[in-house]
Structure 1
Amino acid sequence: MKTLSLSESTLPAQIWNNAPQLENIPVIGTHSLVPAGARAVLIAPHPGDEVVACGGLLQLLSSLGHPLQLLSITDGSASHPGSRQWSEKRLSVFRPQESVEALRRLGLPMHSLKWVRGGFTDNALYDQENQLVEFISRYLRPGDVVFSTWREDGTDDHDVVGRASFRAAQQIGATFYDLPVWAWHRPEREQKQIPWERARKVRLDTWTVARKSHAAHAYASQLNGDPTMGIAPTLSPTLLERMRLPYEIVFV
């Protein structure tokens, strides 16, 4: 199965900081993405994906009073395989606590945010697409606007959850949008694989970007790898730098 750490993509010429097409992506407003009164559903393969992918958009939607639903498919406990410092048992408890703090830092209304933890095992979703479609469908309703990782993002978990979310949305009668995450950290030479014609920018102000960055730093387990096992941080300096861009990208 394909797995990837963003810290493995350390070349300066990554798509996110080198592709000339980024300058010409049309801007889209939140009202165009999520109609007034519609519920926004974010489906995250792992804890923290919601912050990295669209922590700014979630803030904007919350400020407009949209109902929010978050589905965390896995608990992210397999992020440090073989580590004694960050064992799966410890992470299964620790990472949900990190998520609570991250969502609080985003300023989301925890009293009204609907948050469901799926309990699937991360890095083991490749053969569970049909089960994921069934699970996700339980929590969707017609008229929802669903966001999840791009179906061709570049890792098994992101790709499978994206496909399952798309299929579930189609079945229920909801709108679906892709969120690229890992794709931006591919080498610049792979920029032709990005569907630029579908890309739209959601602009973020300085305060929204700052809260998003602050929320990402709630994931202490992902900011620190395990050098004794050769495990690099998942939230690498490169990723954190990209998160400070004044926009997020959605594929429509």
Structure 2
Amino acid sequence: METLTARDTDAPSRHIDIEAGTPEHAWQACDRLGALPAVELCELVPSRCRAVILAPHPDDETLGCGGLIGSLTALGRQVVVVAVSDGEGSHPQESTLYARLPEIRARESASALRHLGLENAALQRIGIPDGEATAHLPELKQWLRARLQPTDILFAPWRLDGHPDHEAVGHAASEMEQELGCKLIEVPIWTWHWARPDDARLPWGRARSLRLTPSVEQNKRLAMRCYCSQIGEDEGRAPVLPANVLAHFVRPYEVFFL
């Protein structure tokens, strides 16, 4: 998950301002969100199907799907996480972390996934440049075609999530659904920050809520803490993911667009 500036988007109405945005308490007071139809784990990922989580940046998989991952691994189900980029664009070049970000973020993801029950082999890295997923769509789709199976269930950011990398990955996953027969389930991530509870642009009719057990919820919280480069200050700079953003991802449920 990377922050977005005005020059990064052609949709000003979905512009992500990291310092502002819809607070989590507004979502919690939303009748529509609280009344979402529940979905069972077996409906999202039937037995014998593999869950493939497409993360534009390391941490997106945990923020959007950490509870799903933890619930599946608790049942011994097969899960693969694909890091499309290494997230090397999260910090400015003057940061002392900048040169080491690809390995730092991969290490953070591996640590987070262990809290969710996954070993290192379940994390695959494509290495597409951070912020350039749209320009590298042919490469991304080629990589996916070579590795996906028709019975896979794809989890990717919603195609209108607000960040160009998120949306590009969502569109690539949609094409794989059409070409290969993989079922796509979309995950709102930045949506919770820029959208509003009464926002008609959200596909509420497709939204479903997956309840998390207390142990899975706790493991997701522990996994989120592994992303030190994103949630901590960097030489006086504000965190990439401040508390007001992280608050959207500590709910006792996760939302998916079916």
Counterpart of 2:60 (choices 49, 56, 62) is: 49
Residue aligning to 2:115: 105
Q: Helix, strand or coil: the match of 2:126?
A: strand
**Aligned equivalents of 2:146 and 2:76: distance in 1?**
23
- Residue 33 in structure 1 maps to residue 44 in structure 2: yes
Corresponding letter in the other structure for 1:222: Q
Corresponding letter in the other structure for 2:253: Y
Would the aligned equivalents of 2:27 and 2:197 in 1 still touch at CA under 8 Å? Answer: no
How does the TM-score come out when normalised to structure 2? 0.88
Corresponding letter in the other structure for 1:155: H
Q: How many residues align?
A: 247
Counterpart of 2:101 (choices 64, 67, 91) is: 91
Structure 2 unpaired stretches of 5+: 1-7
Q: Helix, strand or coil: the match of 1:122?
A: coil
Corresponding letter in the other structure for 2:231: L
Q: Helix, strand or coil: the match of 2:53?
A: strand
**Aligned equivalents of 1:13 and 1:234: distance in 2?**
18
| Root mean square deviation, CA, Å | 2.1
Residue aligning to 1:64: 75
Would the aligned equivalents of 2:64 and 2:187 in 1 still touch at CA under 8 Å? Answer: yes
Alpha-carbon offset, residue 222 of structure 1 = 0.2
Q: Helix, strand or coil: the match of 2:154?
A: strand
- Residue 179 in structure 1 maps to residue 190 in structure 2: no
> What are the within-5 Å matches in structure 2 for residues 201-216 of structure 1?
201-216=209-224
> After alignment, is 44-53 or 239-248 more displaced?
239-248
**Aligned equivalents of 2:16 and 2:93: distance in 1?**
16
Corresponding letter in the other structure for 1:251: F
1:12–1:144: structure 2 CA closer, same or farther, 3 Å change rule?
Answer: closer
Residue aligning to 1:235: 241
Corresponding letter in the other structure for 2:114: R
Q: Helix, strand or coil: the match of 1:41?
A: strand
Structure 1 unpaired stretches of 5+: none
1:98-131 Cα offsets, whole Å, 9 max, x none, are: 11111112222x17x5321000111122222232
> What are the within-5 Å matches in structure 2 for residues 99-248 of structure 1?
99-108=109-118, 110=119, 113-188=121-196, 191-226=199-234, 228=236, 231-248=237-254
